[in-house]
Structure 1
Amino acid sequence: MRADNSQHIVDAARRRSEYTRAKAVQALRTLDAAGEPVTFETVANQAGVSRSWLYAQPDLRAEVERLRAAHHRGPVSPVPARQRTSDASLLRRLEAANTRVRQLTEENRRLRDQLAGALGEQRAERITKEQAKGRQ
């Protein structure tokens, strides 16, 4: 009776599947980082896999569709996904800008008050000097 070598075949198929998936993920990253259009065709060509295989992988398919949509609505020179500003980051920047605007508004108010006080004192001194000259 022959030995059961099916485990070797299963292991080889699993390794081939992992390698193919890794090539597809790398192709996605490379295309996105280069600012190239991400489509099923470009990813398939870059990774050396078939488009039908990409369509059959739900996670890869979703990522291709997400990057493709981002590229279509993005600027002329799209920024790679990992370099794009997140919503949370934009909110933090907006909060920081609003805080700075409040600080500057308060500083302007204080400076106006100081200027008004200084100009008032200057005017009072001038009037006092004029009145003193008039008495002489």
Structure 2
Amino acid sequence: MIHGIGTDICDSRRIAASLARRGDRFASKVLGPNELKVFAARRARNEARGVIYLATRFSAKESFSKAIGLGLHLPMRMPDCEILNEPSGKPFVRLHGELATWFDAQGLTAQVTLSDESDYVVSFVVVERASA
């Protein structure tokens, strides 16, 4: 049964501007530990690809927060919601801390998809509750 759906579109130029203003502090407020490693590696190879990575994760976390119905209120913290990739490239959600505990207690699962084009990124999340 569907618990919630969330979608978000984000202008990657806005993320680039935030990163320029606030530096790595901005990235650390958005990304979890595994995502920070990927971000650093992508950014080292190509600054633009690092920004797109950060923008897609920001967007996906906004979508996730909408789908779970909490918005950006506790226990939802952006670094506790990681959007990682399987070896095939398929994105998936990995949760940590109080958010993971809350999510599991609700009996929820999540599916996420991301896309980027030029200056924009988009994400879509479906959160389902296991049937009783």
Query: TM-score, with normalisation over the residues of structure 1?
Result: 0.26
More strand by proportion, 1 or 2?
2
Structure of larger gyration radius: 1
Query: TM-score, with normalisation over the residues of structure 2?
Result: 0.27
